[in-house]
Chain A
Amino acid sequence: MFGSWHKPSTSSTATAEPGAEQRPAQPKPGTRWPWSLLTGLIILALAALIPLSGDAATLHTWTLILMFAALAQSWNFLGGFTGYASFGNVFFFGVGAYSTGLLILAGRPFWLGVLTGAVVAGLLAFLLGLPVLRLRGHYFAIATLGIAEATRELVAIRNLGGSGGEVELPLPALSDTAFYFLFWLLALACFLLTAYLARSKPGYALIAIRESEETAEAMGIPTYWYKIGAFVLSAVPTALAGGLYAYWSTGFDPPTVFDVGISVEMVLLTVLGGAGTLLGPLISAVLFELLSFQFQISGSTFHNSLLGLTIAIVTIFIPQGLVGLVQEFFRPLAPGMSRRQLLVEGVRRVRRAIAANGV
C-alpha cells in the first residue's frame, strides 16, 4: 500500500537477494531461550550486588549502565523484534523527564510525575505511530529523528520549565541506592518482557513483521496495530527511565534529554548485542558503557569519537551482533567431529560471518 516510495530501494534490495542468502540471518530469539534467560538473570542478580561495594562512583556508573540497558532493551521491542529502527526514541526519554520535572516543580510527588510521563509517552507513541508507522526503513528512521529534534527545539523556544527549557529540581528525597534499585527494577522488567516476547504469540507477530510485512499481513496478522503496540511498548519504559533520570540528575535541559546521541546509543547497543535477541542489549549495555566510562575516567572527552568508532567497527565487522556471532560459533554441527575440528569450523564460520557484507 505504501510501497510506491520504496521503488528505488526495492530495486536494489531485489538485486542484493543472492548475496543476502549467505549472510548470517538475524539471530532468532528462543533458540537457546532458557539459557539466555538464566544468563540474563544472573547478570542482573550480580548487578544487584553493586551497592554493597559502597563506592559512590561505581554506583553512579552502574546506575547509568542499568539505565542504558533498559533503554536499549525497550528500543529492541520495536527496532529489534519488529525491524522498525527508530532514531528518535530519545523523544520518549525527554517526555518522561519533562513530565517528571514539571510535576515536581508544581509540587507533586515524583512518582506521580514518572507515572504521568509513562502514560503521556504511551499516548504520544500511539498518536505519532498512527502516521509514522506507515513509513518504512529510512523514512521511519528519519521521521522519528525529526520528531525528537523538533521537540527539543520547541521545548527550548517555549521555555518549558525554565528559560531555554532548563529545569532545576530540588535535591531528591531518595538515596542513590534507592535510585539504583529503581533503575535495576526497570532493566529487569524490560528483560522479562523481552523474554516473554521471544516466546509468545505477540512476539511471533512482531518477528513476522520484521521478516516480511506483506507475508505477515497475508497470514492474518494485523501488522499495523502490532507495530503501534510495539511502539507504545518501547516508549513506556523509555519514558520511565527519563523520569527517573530527571529526578536523579536534579536538573536537565533540552540538549541533554532530547540528545540524538541517546537515540543512537540505544540503536548501537541493540545492534552490538544482537537486534531481536534476548541477551544482546543487556550484555552490550554493560560492556559498552563500562568501556565508555573507562575512557571518561581517564580524563578525556572522546565519548563521541569512541561511540563513532565503536559504531563503525560493529557495523562493518559484526552487524549481526555479539549474540549472533556466538550462536554462529555454536550452531549444531555434523556429529562425530573432534573438538579441534569443531573449533576450526566455528572460527571459520565466524570469520565468514564477519566478511559477509562487502561489495
Chain B
Amino acid sequence: MLVLAVRSLPVRRLPFHREVSAMLIAQVIVNWLLLGSLYAAVALGFSLVWGIMNIVNLAHGAFILVGAYTAYWAFTQLHIDPFLGLPLTMLLLFCLGWVVQYVAINRVIRAPFLVTFLLTFGLDLLIADVVQLLFTSDRRSINTAYSGFGLTLGTLHIPFDRLLAALIAVLLTAALSLFLQRTRTGNAILATGMDRDAARLMGIRIDRIYALTFGLGAALAGAAGAMLVELYPFDPSQGGVFTLRAFVIVVLGGLGTPWGALAGGLVFGLAETVVPLLPGIGPGYDDAIAFALMVLVLIFRPRGILGKAFYA
C-alpha cells in the first residue's frame, strides 16, 4: 500500500490563558498577523503560477520542501543562516522550477486541466521521494542563536524569527507586485497571463515566459520553505499539506494579484488562530477548517476577497 501520510503543520501556539484580557487579545492579533503573513509567502508562488499559466501546481508543496531542506542543509553543513541564505535558496529553486517547466510542463500546457494537474502531482511525489531519500523521513529543525528570543512588552511576546519571516513575506509580495507592474519582463508575464496568443503575436516568447513564471513560483515556494524550517520542525511528508493550504489561500484571497495571496493568507491565518480558541473546538482541526473555509468561499464569493478576473 501507499504510505503518503500528509500530517498537518504543528502550529506552535503561544501559552494561552482563558481569561480574556486586552493583552491576550493583542497577543492573538500578533499571532494572527505573523501566521497570516507567513501563509501569504506559502501561497504567493502558487498564486502566480495559477494566475499566469492557469496551472494548479500540485508540486508547489514539493518546492517548499526542497526550499526547507536546502536551507537546512546550508545551515547544518555550511553554517549559513536561513534568512541570510534566502537568496541562495531562491536561486536554486528558481533553476529547479525553470527546468521542470522547460522539460515537463511546457509539453502539456495546452492539454486539459486533468493532465497538468496529474503531472504536477506526479512531480510532487517524485520530488518528495527524492528528498526523503536524501534526508530520510526524520523530523528536522533549525536552532539559530536567536531562536526563542523576541520583543517582550508586558506579557506580549513577539519572536524575532517569526517577525522577520512575516516582514520578508510582505516584502516578497510587494516586490512581486512591483516587478509585475513596473518592469518590461513583468509586463510580458502579465500580458501572457491575460492572452497567450495575443502576447505571442506581440513577439513574446511564451515558453520562456512560462519557464520564468514557473521558476519565480518555485523560488517563492523555496523562500517560504526556508522560513518555515526556521520556525517549525519539518519532515518530507509535509509538502502536500502546504499545497492544499496554498490552494485554499488563493481561493480565499482571489486569483487576481499578489496582494490576493496576502489577503487570503491573513484570512486563513485568522481562521487557524481563532477557531481553535472557540469553546468546544480544540486544536488539530486545521485541514477541516481549511476545507470548510474554501467551500464557503467558493460558494459565496467565487472570486475571492480581492477577486479580479486576471492576474495584474
Contacts and interface: CB of A to CB of B under 8 A. Distances in A.
- Whether the complex brings A and B within 8 Å at their CB atoms is answered yes
Interface stretch (A38-46, A112-120, A258-266, A323-331): A258-266
B302 A150 contact: no
A4 B303 contact: yes
B285 A154 contact: yes
A8 B288 contact: no
Contact of A138 (B113, B129, B291, B311): B113
B109 A359 contact: yes
Interface stretch (A10-18, A29-37, A182-190): A10-18
A312 B126 contact: yes
Interface stretch (A141-149, A217-225, A343-351): A141-149
Given A271-B118, A357-B111, A316 B104 contact: yes
Contacts, number: 193
B291 to A, nearest CB: 4
Given A4-B303, A23-B110, A358-B107, A308 B124 contact: yes
Interface string A120-134: 000000000001101
A259 B3 contact: yes
A310 interface: yes
B223 interface: no
B122 A15 contact: no
Contact of B298 (A15, A135, A310, A319): A135
Nearest to A311: B122
Nearest to A255: B5
Contacts of B117: 85, 87, 138, 141
A146 B294 contact: yes
Nearest to A257: B1
Interface residues of A, number: 64
A255 B206 contact: no
A304 B126 CA distance: 6
A248 to B, nearest CB: 12
B287 A150 contact: yes
Nearest to A135: B298
B197 A15 contact: yes
Contact of B126 (A5, A23, A275, A308): A308
B91 interface: no
Interface string B174-205: 00000000000000000000111110000000
Interface string B72-107: 000000000000000000000000000000001011
A157 B104 CA distance: 39
B108 A316 contact: yes
B76 to A, nearest CB: 25
A132 B294 CA distance: 11
Interface string B201-244: 00000110010000000000000000000000000000011001
B170 interface: no
A352 to B, nearest CB: 14
Nearest to B53: A12
Given A11-B194, A131-B295, A303-B2, A16 B119 contact: no
B88 to A, nearest CB: 26
B195 A260 contact: no
A20 interface: yes
A286 B195 CA distance: 42
Interface in B121-170: 121-130
Q: What's the dominant secondary structure at chain A's contact region?
A: helix
B298 A5 contact: yes
Contacts of A265: 2
A12 B126 CA distance: 28
A267 B118 contact: yes
A137 B109 CA distance: 15
A308 B130 CA distance: 11
Interface of A: 2, 4-5, 7-9, 11-12, 15-16, 19-20, 23, 79, 85, 87, 131-132, 134-135, 137-139, 141-143, 145-147, 149-150, 152-154, 157, 255-256, 259-262, 264-265, 267-268, 271, 275, 302-305, 307-312, 314-316, 319, 357-359
Given A11-B195, A141-B56, A259-B5, 13 more contacts: A8-B255, A8-B309, A15-B195, A131-B299, A149-B287, A260-B4, A260-B6, A262-B2, A264-B118, A305-B130, A307-B2, A357-B108, A357-B115
Interface of B: 1-6, 8, 50-51, 54, 56, 104, 106-119, 121-130, 194-198, 206-207, 210, 240-241, 244, 247-248, 251, 255, 284-288, 290-292, 294-295, 298-299, 302-303, 309-311
10 contacts: A12-B196, A85-B117, A141-B117, A143-B291, A143-B295, A154-B285, A312-B119, A315-B118, A358-B106, A359-B107
